[in-house]
Amino acid sequence: MVSTSPNDAFVAFEHVQKSYDGVSLVVKDLNLSIGKGEFLTMLGPSGSGKTTCLMMLAGFETATHGRIMLDGTNINEVPPHKRGIGMVFQNYALFPHMTVGENLSFPLEVRGIGKSEREAKVKRALDMVQMYSFINRRPAQLSGGQQQRIALARALVFDPSLVLMDEPLGALDKQLREHMQFEIKHLHESLGITVVYVTHDQGEALTMSDRVAVFNDGRIQQLASPSDLYERPDNSFVAQFIGENNKLPGVIESIGDGKCTVRLTTGEVIDATPVNVSEKGAKTLVSIRPERVEYKPEMMPAGAHTIDAEVMEFIYMGDLFRTRLRVAGSDEFVIKSRNTLGQRMLSPGEKIKIGWAPQDARALDPM
């Protein structure tokens, strides 16, 4: 079990702020505790402050305010090479004039480790990524995926307990990226290291992480497990950023007992679960995942409100049907249905009724 209490955190950001120009803050009062052995991903759109956080943890940038703790010690003043942190960055290239073996041996030499121990550690690290037979090659003689494996081995070669990765797979094609995601996850599990990973790719974050910190505009919007982020987004930014999402604007009409009804701007009433809205009359944006919407009458949850929809487009995708609907005046409502035996296909122009269980529609503050 991964520890998450701030008292026994392995890495902690405490009230950390960062400004590059002395005026605007790109990281705003960041508080984040990462447990030993945890795989934590910082996920967010470009410019949201993820890399800045990672650079402060690595020691290449200084915090304007606040403390960064590693294993109980304040490391604000500790230079990068004394932090004992392994790093894999997309642009943190291998040395082109050195062989694979020399690239891996280098961080060990810097740490004053003797020749025979160096050789043993280099072999072990290359074995971990199944690249020992490439020890005498130069980086230019390797494919992109192989180079990234070597960069990973180089980050692991001195047995760091913490490894930072910033978009390490960004330059690889989709298939290789997915393969490497599993390889990194497997190494994380087998070595028991703590990983802090930065990506803007939500699929990557959901696949690999124990917890994900969703960043926007220098702040963490939500810190949660992948399933909680997807199933229980705290606000409309997270609902929109993670996975596919339908949103319906309206006003809370009745609320109580963990349920509410929402009158949409076009007049229909729907069922939802209030998340960060508490008052009758409050504006809300209701968020519903495409796979949680039902249109077959016999499958509709008992007592659910249903609303009218018109089929705009029906796409057969093999295992799934993806249907785009006009709902409450918008043409962008998407539902996904499993292709089960006897499932009826819908046709454009067809009028249907849709509904859902109230717990699957989250009434969020539109912000």
Count of residues interacting with ligand ADP (CB under 6 A): 10
When asked if residue 44 is in the footprint of ligand ADP (CB under 6 A), the reply is: yes
Per CB under 6 A, does 95 bind ligand ADP? no
Q: Does 91 bind ligand ADP (CB under 6 A)?
A: no
- Considering only 41-49, 108-116, 281-289, 314-322, which stretch makes contact with ligand ADP by CB under 6 A? 41-49
Shortest Cβ 289–ligand ADP spacing (Å): 25
Interface with ligand ADP includes 48 (CB under 6 A)? Answer: yes
According to the binding rule CB under 6 A, does residue 50 interact with ligand ADP? yes
Assess 49 for contact with ligand ADP (CB under 6 A). yes
Helix/strand/coil (H, E, C) string of the chain? CCCCCHHHCCEEEEEEEECCCCCCCCEEEEEEEECCCCEEEEECCCCCCHHHHHHHHHCCCCCCEEEEEECCEECCCCCHHHCCEEEEECCCCCCCCCCHHHHHHHHHHHCCCCHHHHHHHHHHHHHHCCCHHHCCCCHHHCCHHHHHHHHHHHHHCCCCCEEEEECCCCCCCHHHHHHHHHHHHHHHHHHCCEEEEEECCHHHHHHHCCEEEEEECCEEEEEECHHHHHHCCCCHHHHHHCCCCEEEEEEEEEEECCEEEEEECCCCEEEEEECCCCCCCCEEEEEECHHHCECCHHHCCCCCCCEEEEEEEEEECCCEEEEEEEECCEEEEEEEEECCCCCCCCCCCCEEEEECCHHHEEEECCC
Give the CA count within 13 Å in the CB-facing half-sphere of 38. Answer: 25
Phi, psi of 123 (to 5 degrees): -65, -45
Of residues 105 through 124, those in contact with ligand ADP by CB under 6 A are none
Q: Select from 39-47, 66-74, 240-248, 357-365 the region that touches ligand ADP (CB under 6 A).
A: 39-47
Q: Is 52 in the site for ligand ADP (CB under 6 A)?
A: yes
| Encoded amino acid at 268, one letter | E
* Residue 160 touches ligand ADP, criterion: CB under 6 A: no
Which of the ranges 45-53, 71-79, 224-232, 278-286 carries the binding residues for ligand ADP, by CB under 6 A?
45-53
- Binding mask 10-29 toward ligand ADP (x if CB under 6 A, else -) reads ----------x-----x---
Least Å distance, CB 47 to ligand ADP, is 4
Which of residues 47, 66, 145, 301 is near ligand ADP by CB under 6 A? 47
**Residue 62 touching ligand ADP (CB under 6 A):** no
Contacting ligand ADP within 247-306 (CB under 6 A)? none
Least distance in angstroms from the C-beta of 198 to ligand ADP: 6
Considering only CA atoms, which of 225, 2, 233, 195 is closest in space to residue 85? 195
Q: Which stretch binds ligand ADP (CB under 6 A): 42-50, 223-231, 267-275, 305-313?
A: 42-50
Stretch that binds ligand ADP, among 48-56, 92-100, 108-116, 204-212 (CB under 6 A): 48-56
Which of 5, 7, 46, 175 touches ligand ADP (CB under 6 A)?
46
Closer CB to ligand ADP, residue 46 or residue 133?
Answer: 46
Residues near ligand ADP, by CB under 6 A: 20, 26, 44, 46-52
